[in-house]
Copies of this chain bind each other. A is one copy, B any other.
Amino acid sequence: MPFTPAITEQRFVLDRIVAIGELGATDRFAAASDDVIDAVLEGAGALAAGEWAPLNRIGDTIGAKWTPDGVVMPDGFVAAYQDYVDGGWGTIGVPEEFGGQGLPFALQTAVLDTLGSANMGFALCPTLTVGAIEALSHHGSPEQQALYLPHLATGAWTGTMNLTEPQAGSDVGALRTQATPRGDGTWSIKGTKIYISFGDHDMAKNIVHLVLARTPGAPEGTRGISLFLVPKYRLDADGKPGDFNDVRVVSIEHKMGLHASPTCVLSFGDHDDCIGELIGAEHGGMRAMFTMMNNARLNVGLQGVQIAEGATQAAVAYARERIQSARAGSPDKSPVAIIDHPDVRRMLMRMKAQTQAARALVYYAAGQVDRATLGEDGAMNRLEVVTPLAKAHGTDLGNEVASLGIQVHGGMGFIEETGAAQYFREARITPIYEGTNGIQAADLVGRKLGLGHNQDGDGAFAALIADMRSEAKHERLITLIDACDAIGRRLQTADADDRLAASYPFLTMLSVATCGWLMEREGRAVPDSEFGRMKAASVRFYLDQIVPEALGLDAAASASADVLYALEPEAFAA
């Protein structure tokens, strides 16, 4: 199945949802001229379609392999990654002072969208590097920045995030990895981390591990965590990768998907010879990690968009080719392409609409990253409140669309060779990593609902509701926004159990309201073209059919936790 980059759609969303023209008018993002934006979208599209997409199935069937000398990528990945580095695709969103192009985060989002739609497992590698760059550019020392950032910016070196340990998953504060001072300002690192994506591979000259660890005498929980920079190879006097730094890849996981992305168990300091540098302040690890994680959450939401885009393209192509049965009610009894059957078309329309909704939501959030960089009033609050929506709902939609993609393929969808199954399998990790979607919902009803909240009610949540109200015209959309407002206010003062019991349905309602608001805005600006007519139909379908569904969650988002705790845990096994 050839992959076609969604360039028209991306440019439209950058214009209408991100308002990237406004960004390009600032000094900070002056590089983002119209021509540059088009050139970036087209260039990334060519790389994705020409080199990355053809490796998607190979990545799945062959996969990354563990060897005693490290992880080896499937054939073709090393060369395709080098072309990514050589093309400067890693440098898009990196500030110029760190060797980047200083373009908006939103444009970098579009590049990752394209690369990941072609090959999500592969695109996870640069996505992680982006996170490492974020952490270092905000919290690293000038020396660390000078030594590491130029290589991370190009992608010549890649980055990882090392949070999880067997006993410390969602509860990061329970981690046990130790950092002990070596007396020369560096630290000796010792411990085991699991679920480290691209923790090892053979595509880069060095791998920069950002590792959460505990220093001697540190307080318990997240308050006692520090962040360390731990390269796979220590830098020599010329700043080049030198001695091996005692970071051993113990094994890689046997996963349901993303086989091209090695999920590593990493052992630091087996021979007491693993040296790390502190990033930022001691015990300031969570703050630094959150810098990295917030944007990483958007990038995982973006994986939902990637999966949805790839799965939709495959399903549309199949439905246009596959001939089966005459159209019901038609006098013509010849079999037609299945795209002409109403229920197949309903599935495809839903896939289109949900993909566009997810993209609008994630790109909107990405635009707020840039506006926060510019110091725009309220942008950081807007970003904070939509981040859990973008991560959780974006990935939920990726899963829904991938499942519909299989259904459109019928029996072929269950056969691996078709490719629809790969999207479905790979989508399933996205609601889990970077903070499960349940944790996103908890973040929404916990920290985010109260953010900037005061007696006038003009906090981050109230601002989002006001933004939506100022534009929304569709009757059911307005009803949904009102329902979200009422439930959100109620949850602000509810007790913890009730708030959390309602959190997920509420997150879904608020996400659909946000998507509906953005889709309606897109619908007001459709061009007179085939793309514009498709967009208009998707917007109409979204507002008329998907928005009302979210209203059905009202009861669940308003329910108390009582029913959940009416029973002892043992009863669930009855």
Contacts and interface: CB of A to CB of B under 8 A. Distances in A.
Interface in A161-193: 164, 167, 169-171, 174
A325 B348 CA distance: 41
A514 interface: no
A267 B403 CA distance: 31
B563 A555 contact: no
A564 interface: yes
A381 to B, nearest CB: 23
A403 B256 CA distance: 13
Interface stretch (A204-212, A298-306, A404-412): A404-412
Interface string A34-61: 0000000000000000000000000000
Given A406-B428, A574-B530, A556 B567 contact: no
A174 B352 CA distance: 31
Interface in A533-574: 533-534, 536-537, 540-541, 544-545, 548-556, 559, 561, 563-567, 569-574
A316 B541 CA distance: 38
Nearest to A256: B421
A446 B328 CA distance: 10
A202 interface: no
Contacts of A379: none
A436 interface: yes
A537 B342 contact: no
A413 interface: yes
A169 B410 contact: yes
B432 A411 contact: yes
A80 interface: no
Interface stretch (A128-136, A458-466, A497-505): A497-505
Contacts of A566: 533, 536-537, 540
Interface stretch (A20-28, A88-96, A234-242, A437-445): A437-445
A256 B342 contact: no
A548 B556 contact: yes
Contacts of A570: 320, 530
A517 interface: no
A571 B349 CA distance: 11
Contacts of A217: none
Given A335-B171, A410-B169, A572-B316, A567 B537 contact: yes
Given A342-B501, A407-B436, A415 B574 contact: no
B346 A564 contact: yes
A193 to B, nearest CB: 12
A265 to B, nearest CB: 11
Contacts of A442: 328, 343
Contacts of A140: none
B559 A545 contact: yes
Interface in A505-544: 505, 529-531, 533-534, 536-537, 540-541, 544
A488 to B, nearest CB: 17
B436 A414 contact: no
A532 to B, nearest CB: 9
B4 A573 contact: yes
Interface in A125-161: none
A217 to B, nearest CB: 19
A429 interface: yes
A416 interface: yes
A266 interface: no
B567 A501 contact: no
A536 B563 CA distance: 10
Given A399-B403, A564-B349, A549 B548 contact: no
A437 B335 CA distance: 20
B329 A497 contact: yes
A348 B256 contact: no
A495 interface: yes
A317 interface: yes
B411 A428 contact: no
A344 interface: yes
Interface string A319-338: 11001110011100001010
Contact of A574 (B8, B255, B335, B554): B8
A497 B341 CA distance: 8
Contact of A328 (B316, B342, B496): B496
Contacts of A485: none
Interface string A409-427: 0110111110001001100
A345 interface: yes
Given A320-B572, A328-B446, A342-B564, 4 more contacts: A328-B442, A343-B503, A344-B438, A549-B555
28 contacts: A170-B410, A174-B325, A174-B335, A255-B415, A256-B425, A316-B573, A328-B496, A328-B497, A341-B438, A342-B497, A342-B503, A343-B442, A343-B504, A344-B438, A345-B565, A411-B432, A411-B433, A414-B428, A476-B555, A530-B571, A534-B567, A537-B567, A540-B563, A544-B555, A545-B556, A548-B555, A548-B556, A549-B555
7 tightest Cβ-Cβ pairs between the two chains A and B: A552-B552, A329-B496, A342-B500, A548-B555, A171-B325, A343-B438, A549-B552
